[in-house]
Structure formats: C-alpha cells, structure tokens
Amino acid sequence: MSQGNRPVHTVRYAAVQVDVWENPGEHGPWHSVSLRRTYKDKVTGEWKKAHSLGRDDLLPAAQALEEAYRWVASQGRSAPAGERPRPSRYPGPDAGEDDAERVLGRPDDIPF
C-alpha cells in the first residue's frame, strides 16, 4: 500500500470503518479496501479493533462499503499514453438495472 501506509479515503458508519488504499500497478494505480469494527473491551475498557461483524454491524458495513465503492469508481482508472483504460467488470455508481443484471445476474437466477 502506498501513501506511507495511510488510506486515501476513509468511510465510517457507526462502529464500522472502511479504509481505501491506493496501490501502484502496471496500468496505473488501483484500489483495495479494508473493513474493521471498533469496540470497547468490557474488562479493560480499552478500544479495540476487530474484523468480524455482528448482526447490528451488517447494515453500517454495507453502507460504508457502498460509499467506498462509489468513491473508488469516481476516481476512474488512468491508462498509459496511447492505451484505453480497461473497463471495470462491475457497473459504476450510475449504472442502470441492465448493467447490474449483466454483471450480477437476475435476482431470480440466485439458487437459494
């Protein structure tokens, strides 16, 4: 991770935090994310970090991840001179339902 091991963007919802990291790549920088939850240890009273989520953390995590996704998508992807940027395999934040179905499949195609 570049930038002196500091995230380029951070999103917080409740006790959930998502950090976006910028990494150098052959075709320009690319981004990765990490997710964590903070909690207060009942015994020591210290604030700690965990990577597991409870039921009440799921919606804040989903919202934080969606916001991080939108931020990463807004950054675009630069390409070397003379090359076209490679398209993402995932629809962007302004994609329509047809784009989402193309990538994710139709909701009734899910086998459960």
Q: For 66-99, write each residue's pLDDT tens digit.
A: 999 999 999 876 444 555 555 555 555 555 555 5
| Report field, pTM of the whole predicted structure over 0.75 | no
Question: Domain range spanning residue 35?
Answer: 3-75+90-102
pLDDT at 2: 47
- Domains identified in the chain, total number: 1
For the ranges 4-13, 77-86, 101-110, the one whose mean pLDDT is highest: 4-13
pLDDT at 76: 75
Please indicate, yes or no, if residue 98 is contained in any of the structural domains.
yes
Please indicate, yes or no, if residue 35 is contained in any of the structural domains.
yes
Please indicate, yes or no, if residue 23 is contained in any of the structural domains.
yes
How many CB atoms sit inside 10 A of residue 60's CB?
19
Please indicate, yes or no, if residue 64 is contained in any of the structural domains.
yes
Condensed to tens digits (0 to 9), the pLDDT of residues 25-41 reads 888 889 999 999 999 99
Please indicate, yes or no, if residue 84 is contained in any of the structural domains.
no
Query: 3-class DSSP state for residue 97?
Result: helix
Task: Tally the C-alpha atoms within 13 A of residue 92's C-alpha that lie toward its C-beta.
Answer: 10
Please indicate, yes or no, if residue 112 is contained in any of the structural domains.
no
Please indicate, yes or no, if residue 83 is contained in any of the structural domains.
no
